[in-house]
Structure 1
Amino acid sequence: MGLRIRGVVLPERAERSFRIDGDVLREDPAPGGELLVDGGWLLPGLVDVHTHPGTEGPESVFADATFRRHLTEHRDAGVLLVRTPGTAAPVPDWVERDDELPRVRSAGRWLATPGRFFPGVGRDIGEDELVAAAVEEAAADGWCKVIGDWRWDEPAVPLELLTATVRAVHAAGGRVAVHCQTAEGSRNAVLAGADSLEHGMHLDPGLLDRMAAQGTALVPTLGVFAAGAAERRAGAPGPRRDDWLAGWAALPGTVRAAHEAGVTVLAGTDSFPCGTVAAESSWLLRAGLPPEAALGAASWAARAWLGLPGLVDGAPADVVAYDRDPVAHPEVLGCPERIVLKGRVVR
């Protein structure tokens, strides 16, 4: 009969029994088979929708061994699906075939027009090349990532160009993530119809209703900003420092307002070590998201947004199990008792 799991499924809060059939789940209430999980709380595998495995900073070189190590760190924390919105090199072909590593959704290489992003780290292109390059990157795995702005006092990618890019990628069946940390960059990403705003610092709350209506998600990466706030405050006073601190001060409130407006808010870490999306979920909770929404942002809501179902018959066999309800006890989220990836028992 194989392995079976039984417990209370979130977010439905219904007790269910599944049989692991290869790399999929089969709803099977009949007795028989070894019970791998008998009771407790069951979640679809955790998700980090903004992580950059393979390098550890703009000066490091992408390496397969580093990529594998980072994905393993994710897996061992129960993060069984990642989206990497920008890499320094194409995601290796072997990743998809490796049943011991999380599922990966890639946005290809960062697309950086002149003066935006670290030189030589992404795919450096002219503004006249952006539309074609975005379509090309999205063709590989459905997503592309545009660096929509960079320095606080320099212009963002022009709205007309970003709009043309989004339209071309959508016409080709792809989706567009936009890095934005300035007011202009965030505004342009929303008005262009981007599928996700990565960071969204200085986002005008007046644009939230439009984001909700057109399905633009917000990935605020609160934890990485929080980690850098003390260093920024200790830095020399000046317009750049003050602008950054003002953006950070407003961001948690914007995140809360985004959720209340119906925007899909998701958990992404953009930091190292990998496997820390539970901490990002905690930051969303601190920003004012309801506990279930903060948890879903790192699990079922993120999986649905990336096109995968939750714990239902025929779903991928990616499961994390807990002895305590992680909605009521969010501190347990990063330490699942059981981890099943692609039908294989990790822990």
Structure 2
Amino acid sequence: MRVRGIVLPEREERTFWIRGDRLTTDRPPAGTDAESVIDGGWLLPGLVDVHTHPGAEDADTPFDEALLRKHLLDHRDAGVLLVRTPGTAARMPAWVDSDEELPRVRSAGRWLATPGRFFPGAGRDIREEELPRAAVEEAGASSGWCKVIGDWRWDEPAVPLDILTEAVRAVHAAGGKVAVHCQTAEGSRNAVLAGADSLEHGMHLDPGLLHRMAAQGTAFVPTLGAFGSGADEMYARERGARRDHWVAGWEGMLRNVRAAHEAGVTVLAGTDSFPCGTVAAEASWLIRAGLPSEAALGAASWTARSWLGLPGLADGAPADVIAYATDPTLDPRVLAHPTRIILRGRVVG
């Protein structure tokens, strides 16, 4: 099969051939027929949702493998060909990685929850002193990631910095990475100071920490759409400590997204919401918060793929390609409407 179009972000017209599940720039031998599956348009290396929880739609619903497959197919059919699942109620089943119909998955094992810091029983409940060992275990049993619930209620303390730091160091020593859920100033601060690989949400993040995040490679996954969908309701509520704390955190997140980008922090697109397959909307939220359109698209495509260890559209890269009739950097709404989807070298949409 042959693929031709203008590749983003390079903005160069290129032609690839698909051999097995890889892209190549080597022409097939003379006389060999190569079906043209994409001829013209704009090409991206598959969309990416770096914060999604397929398999259960709320904390009260048991993890369900049939629902997991449906959610992953919903992602795929929207052009989301790579996902990171930072925490689930159960470890990702082995068949996910072998099913060629599904997006590539980078999982983070079960949520790691210390007392009082998550929905009871929804993740792996542990004592604070057990966190370093449990973090290494979950990273080793997944795709190398683990997810720590770094804080929970707005008026209660976060996981202590020394314990979180020990957990991050232990996981890094084992070759893994740590994502930290944080929605309070203390939780966000501790995640940065501990050297976490990603801040999930980062509500109330002190902007004075952004340069440290950039220097140590801590990514920012603000999941703006998950918060923004409920913002009008929160603004309409009667003033009170909890409501005012949330509003201040939300408004700070919007400011911090642009400031983080300008400081050199890797900002990435994650939905943390349902239905699955809506990362294009998250890219629009990043633009609304102040990211340039190309940076926002990268956060949902080539930048995220690189961050997760996969190349973009290049010779020898995985044959994960989505095509658009027009340039999505000029009209980000286009991102939700690919004209062709190729996953693992197979046309799936």
Q: Give the structure-1-normalised TM-score.
A: 0.98
Structure 2 counterpart of 1:78 = 79
Deviations along 1:201-259, one digit per CA (max 9) or x if unpaired, are 10000000000000000000000100111222233432111100111011111000000
Deviations 1:81-135 (A, max 9, x none): 0000000011111111100000000010000000001000010000111000000
* Runs of 4+ more than 6 Å apart: none
Q: Contact 1:17–1:29 (CA<8 Å) still a contact in 2? A: no
Query: Does 1:252 find its partner at 2:254?
Result: yes
**Distance (Å, rounded) in 2 between the aligned partners of 1:258 and 1:228:** 23
Instruction: Kindly indicate whether residue 137 of structure 2 is the aligned counterpart of residue 136 of structure 1.
Output: yes
| 2: CA distance, partners of 1:12 / 1:155 | 45
Q: Is the 8 A contact 1:49 1:83 kept in 2?
A: yes
**CA apart distance, 1:29:** 5.3
**Distance (whole Å) between structure 2 residues aligned to residue 156 and residue 235 of structure 1:** 26
- Unpaired runs of 5+ residues, structure 2, are none
2 CA distance for matches of 1:104 and 1:319?
Answer: 16
Q: Secondary structure at the match of 2:230?
A: helix
Partner of 1:308: 310
| Structure 1 residue 329, shift from structure 2 partner | 1.6
Distance 2:41 2:229 in 1: 33
Match of 1:91 in 2: 92
Work out whether residues 7 and 37 of structure 1, in 8 Å CA contact, stay in contact via their aligned partners in 2: yes
What stretches of structure 1 of length at least 5 have no aligned partner?
Answer: none
| Residue identity matched to 2:328 | P
Query: In the alignment, which residue of structure 1 is the partner of 2:155?
Result: 153
Q: Deviations over 1:276-305 (max 9, x none)?
A: 000000000111111110000000000000
Q: Deviations over 1:154-185 (max 9, x none)?
A: 00000000000000000000000000000000
Letter in 2 for 1:282: S
The 5 A counterparts of 1:1-347 are 3-28=1-26, 32-140=33-141, 141-347=143-349
* Equivalent residue letter for 2:42: W
Aligned length: 345
> Which secondary structure does the structure 2 equivalent of 1:145 belong to?
strand
What code does the residue aligned with 1:270 have? D
Rounded Cα–Cα distance in structure 2 between residues aligned with 1:109 and 1:122: 6
1-structure distance, mates of 2:247, 2:59: 23
Query: What amino acid sits opposite 2:5 in the alignment?
Result: G
Three-state SS of the structure 1 residue aligned to 2:271 is coil
User: What is the alpha-carbon distance in structure 2 between the residues aligned to residue 299 and residue 274 of structure 1?
Assistant: 16
CA contact (8 A) 1:17 1:28 kept: no
Shift of 1:33: 1.0
Q: Tell me how far apart the structure 2 counterparts of residues 127 and 215 of structure 1 sit (CA, whole Å).
A: 26
SS at match of 1:132: helix
- Structure 1 Cα separation of the partners of residues 199 and 340 of structure 2: 33
1:296-318 deviation digits (Å, cap 9, x = unpaired): 00000000000000000111110
SS in 2 for 1:333: helix
Whole-angstrom CA distance in 2 between matches of 1:335 and 1:128: 47
Q: What is the identity, as a one-letter code, of the residue corresponding to 1:35?
A: S
Residue 47 of structure 1 aligns with an amino acid whose one-letter code is V
Q: Is the 8 A contact 1:16 1:29 kept in 2?
A: no
- What do residues 25-76 of structure 1 show as CA deviations (whole Å, max 9, x unaligned)? 1113578511111111000010000000000001111101100110010000
Q: Which amino acid aligns with 2:87?
A: G
